[in-house]
Amino acid sequence: MYQTTLPVVGAGFRGRDEQLARIVRAVEKLRAGGSEWLALLGSRKVGKTSLLLEASRRLGDRVVFAVLDVLDHVPVTAEVIRLLVLRVVERVFARDCGQSLEATIDPASYRAALAGSARFARLPGDLRQLLLGLHDLHLTASALAVLIQIPERLAEALDLPIVVAIDEFQELADLRVGRPAHDVLPMLRSAWQKHRRVAYVISGSARRLMIDLVASPRSPFFGHFALLEVDAFAQADAIALLVEGAVPGHAVSRQLAARAVAIIGGNPFYLQLLGEQLAGLASPLDEGALKEALSRLLFHRTGRLAMFFEAELARVVGRSAQALAILEQLARAPGRPADLQAALRLSSSSAVNYLARLGDVIRRRADDRYELTDPVMALWLTWRAPGGAAVPMTVVGDEGERDVARALADLGFELVYQSKASRGAFDLLAIRAGVMVGVQVKRSALPLHFTAAAWNRMEAEARRLGWRWIATAASREGVVTFLDPAHGRRRKGVGLSSSSAIVNLLAWIDDASPPRRRR
By CB under 6 A, tell whether 108 contacts ligand ATP.
no
43 belongs to the binding site for Mg ion (CB under 5 A) = no
Identify which of residues 102 and 244 has a Cβ nearer to ligand ATP in the complex: 244
Closest to Mg ion by CB, 146 or 209:
209
Could you say which residues in the range 192-231 bind ligand ATP, by CB under 6 A?
205
Separation between Cα atoms, residue 50 and residue 206, nearest integer Å = 17
β-strand pairing of 468-474 with 435-442: parallel
Q: CA–CA separation, 178 vs 200, rounded Å?
A: 24
Q: Which residue is nearest to ligand ATP (CB)?
A: 47
Closer CB to Mg ion, 8 or 502, in the complex: 8
Cis peptide before 447 (omega within 30 of 0): yes
State the number of CA atoms in the 13 A half-sphere of 327 facing the CB: 33
What are the phi and psi torsion angles at 368 (to 5°)? 70, 5
Choices 44-52, 241-249, 484-492, 505-513; region in contact with Mg ion by CB under 5 A: 44-52
Binding of ligand ATP at residue 42 (CB under 6 A)? yes
Helix (H, G, I), strand (E, B) or coil at 67: strand
Strand ranges in 235-315 using DSSP code E only, listed in sequence order: none
- Smallest distance, Å, CB 192 to Mg ion? 22
Contact between 271 and 242 under an 8 Å Cβ cutoff? The reply is: yes
Site stretch for ligand ATP (CB under 6 A), options 125-133, 186-194, 266-274, 427-435: 266-274
82 binds, among ligand ATP, Mg ion, none (CB under 5 to 8 A by kind): none
Candidates 325, 344, 334; CA nearest to 365 is 334
Q: Is residue 47 at the binding interface for ligand ATP, with CB under 6 A as the rule?
A: yes
Q: Is beta strand 225-229 parallel, antiparallel or unpaired with respect to 362-364?
A: unpaired
Q: How far apart are CA 406 and CA 476, in angstroms?
A: 15
Q: Is the separation of the CB atoms in 320 and 355 below 8 Å?
A: no
Q: Which is nearer to Mg ion, 168 or 328 (CB)?
A: 168
Give the helix/strand (H/E) hosting 470.
strand 468-474
Q: Which does 288 bind (CB under 5 to 8 A by kind): Mg ion, ligand ATP, none?
A: none
Q: Given the complex with Mg ion, which of 83 and 325 has the nearer CB atom?
A: 83
Sign of CA dihedral 110, 93, 20, 172: positive
Taking the complex as a whole, the smallest distance from the CB of residue 286 to ligand ATP amounts, in Å, to 24
CB atoms under 10 Å from CB of 101, counted, come to 23
Binding status of residue 235 toward ligand ATP by CB under 6 A:
no
Q: Which residues of 104-119 are buried (b: 16+ CB within 10 A; e: fewer)?
A: beeeeebbebbeebee
Stretch that binds ligand ATP, among 3-11, 101-109, 311-319, 386-394 (CB under 6 A): 3-11
Instruction: Pick what 272 binds: ligand ATP, Mg ion, none; C-beta below 5 to 8 Å, kind-dependent.
Output: ligand ATP
Binding partner of residue 402 among Mg ion, ligand ATP, none, CB cut-off 5 to 8 Å per kind: none
Count of positions on this chain that bind ligand ATP (CB under 6 A): 23
Return the ∠ at Cα 285 (arms to 17 and 291), rounded to 5°.
90
Closest-by-Cβ residue to Mg ion is 49
Choose between 20 and 343: whose C-beta lies nearer to ligand ATP: 20
Nearer to ligand ATP, 54 or 484 (CB): 54
Interface residue with ligand ATP among 35, 50, 419, 500 (CB under 6 A) is 50
Residue 15 interacting with ligand ATP (CB under 6 A): yes
Residue 167 CB, nearest approach to Mg ion (Å): 5
Candidate ranges 33-41, 49-57, 219-227, 477-485; the one touching Mg ion (CB under 5 A): 49-57
Q: Which does 331 bind (CB under 5 to 8 A by kind): Mg ion, ligand ATP, none?
A: none
Distance CA 298, CA 308 (A): 9
How many helices and strands in the chain, by DSSP H and E?
Answer: 22, 17
Question: How many CB atoms are closer than 10 A to CB 355?
Answer: 18
Contact 355, 368 (CB under 8 A): no
Among ligand ATP, Mg ion, none, the one that 497 touches (CB under a kind-dependent 5 to 8 A) is none
Closest CA to 491 of 459, 460, 458, 447: 447
Tell me the C-alpha distance between 10 and 17, whole Å.
14
Is 50 a binder of Mg ion (CB under 5 A)? no
Q: Does 7 bind ligand ATP (CB under 6 A)?
A: yes
**Per-residue string for binding with Mg ion, 196-235, x by CB under 5 A?**
----------------------------------------
With respect to ligand ATP, which residue has the nearer C-beta, 233 or 383? 233
Does the N-terminal peptide bond of residue 75 adopt cis geometry, omega within 30 degrees of 0?
Answer: yes
Nearer to ligand ATP, 233 or 354 (CB): 233
- Selected from 26, 27, 41, 46, the binder of ligand ATP by CB under 6 A is 46
Task: Choose between 11 and 32: whose C-beta lies nearer to ligand ATP.
Answer: 11
3 state SS of 142? helix
Please select the residue that binds Mg ion; options are 49, 170, 382, 472, rule is CB under 5 A. Answer: 49
Sequence-distant (≥ 6) Cβ neighbours of residue 443 within 8 angstroms: 398, 399, 400, 474, 476
Residue 38 C-beta: closest distance to ligand ATP, Å: 15
| Residue (16 or 22) nearer to ligand ATP, CB | 16
Question: C-beta of 14: minimal distance to ligand ATP in Å?
Answer: 4
- What's the CA angle centered on 336, arms 385 and 351, to 5 degrees? 75
| Contacting positions for ligand ATP (CB under 6 A) | 3-4, 6-8, 12-16, 42, 44-50, 205, 241, 268-269, 272
